[in-house]
Structure 1
C-alpha cells in the first residue's frame, strides 16, 4: 500500500471541487485537491520514488510499487510559461517524501486569472483502490491525503 501525503499547505477540497472537468471528473485518475495558502511555498514529494515527469507547473513521482502520483500546481498554469515557478530538481531524480521539488507562488497564478487549486492524482488508478481520501480540512506538507492499494 502507498500512502500519499500532501505536497503543500492549504485546505483539502476533493477533486469534484476542481474548476477543470478533466480533473473534477477524475479522467486523469482519482485523488483529491488542495486549495493552497496564497504565499510563496515549496511543493514537496508526496511519496518516495523517481521523478518521471517534471514541468514548472506539474510533476509525477512513481514509487517502488509503480504508483504514479501527479501533483498539478494550479489549473491552466502551463499558460504561465514558468512565471511564478522555480524547478528545484531534475527529471529522473530519486526523491524521498517531503523533498523539495518546485518553489512556486500561487498568488502569481491568481494575478494571471488562473485557479491556484492543486489536484493530487493517483495515475492509472481506480477510485476503489483509494481509501481514506481527504476532502476537507487544513493540511500541511506531509499530512496523509489518501492510501492506495
Structure 2
C-alpha cells in the first residue's frame, strides 16, 4: 500500500525510432511480402535503401543476429523489440554479401553500424532490397506515429514515435 502511495507513478514510455538506413521511408503495407505488409511480424515502416549500411535505429541491445546476417533484432531501452530485415527472400543467400559489425549481447547507440551489405548482389539474388523495420512486440504499444521521408538518413531521421502501454 505504501508503495502505491509513494511509489513512482507509472506513465507510458515514449521512444523515437530513427531510420536504420539511408533511403526512402515507405509504409509497411507497401512491402511486396504479406508477412510484412499484413503486419504478421508486427507494425513499422520500411526503407528503400540508397546504400548498404544498416545502423541502429535506437539505443539498445542486440538480442538476435541471424546466422545469415540478413536480419537483426534490437531491444530498445524502453523494451521495444525491433526487427530489421534486410531485403526480401535474402535468407536464401546464406550470408553471402552481408557483413555483421556487432554480435548478440552488444550494447548499441543510435547510428552505430550494425550490418553492411552488397545491394547489387541482393538485387541479383533476392526478391527486393526493401528493408522492413518492425516492432515485433507490438502488443506493448499504445500508439505509433510514423513519418515517411523521401531522403531518410540512417540514425538521424525520425521515422516512428512510439508510446508504450503503462
Which TM-score bucket, shorter chain as reference? over 0.9
1:131-142 equivalences in 2 (<5 Å): 131=145, 133-141=146-154, 142=156
Residue range with higher mean Cα deviation, 118-127 or 13-22:
118-127
- The normalised TM-score by structure 2 is 0.83
User: Does the 8 Å CA contact 1:134/1:145 hold for their aligned counterparts?
Assistant: yes
Alignment partners' CA distance in 2, 1:117 and 1:107: 13
The equivalent residue for 1:60 is: 73
Length, aligned pairs only? 146
Instruction: Name structure 1 gaps, 5 residues minimum.
Output: none
The equivalent residue for 1:50 is: 61
Alignment partners' CA distance in 2, 1:92 and 1:113: 29
**How far off its partner does 1:136 sit?**
4.7
Tell whether 2:161 aligns with 1:147: yes
Residue range with higher mean Cα deviation, 135-144 or 51-60:
135-144
Q: CA deviation digits over 1:17-57, x for unaligned, max 9?
A: 101101001111111000111x4x32011100010011211
User: Does the 8 Å CA contact 2:26/2:148 hold for their aligned counterparts?
Assistant: yes
1:5-44 equivalences in 2 (<5 Å): 5-37=18-50, 39=51, 41-44=52-55
Q: CA deviation digits over 1:45-93, x for unaligned, max 9?
A: 1100010011211111101211111111001101100111001111110
User: Does the 8 Å CA contact 1:14/1:136 hold for their aligned counterparts?
Assistant: no
User: Does the 8 Å CA contact 1:33/1:135 hold for their aligned counterparts?
Assistant: no
Instruction: Name structure 2 gaps, 5 residues minimum.
Output: 1-13
- The normalised TM-score by structure 1 is 0.92
Which has the greater radius of gyration? 2
TM superposition outliers: structure 1 runs of 4+ over 2 Å = none
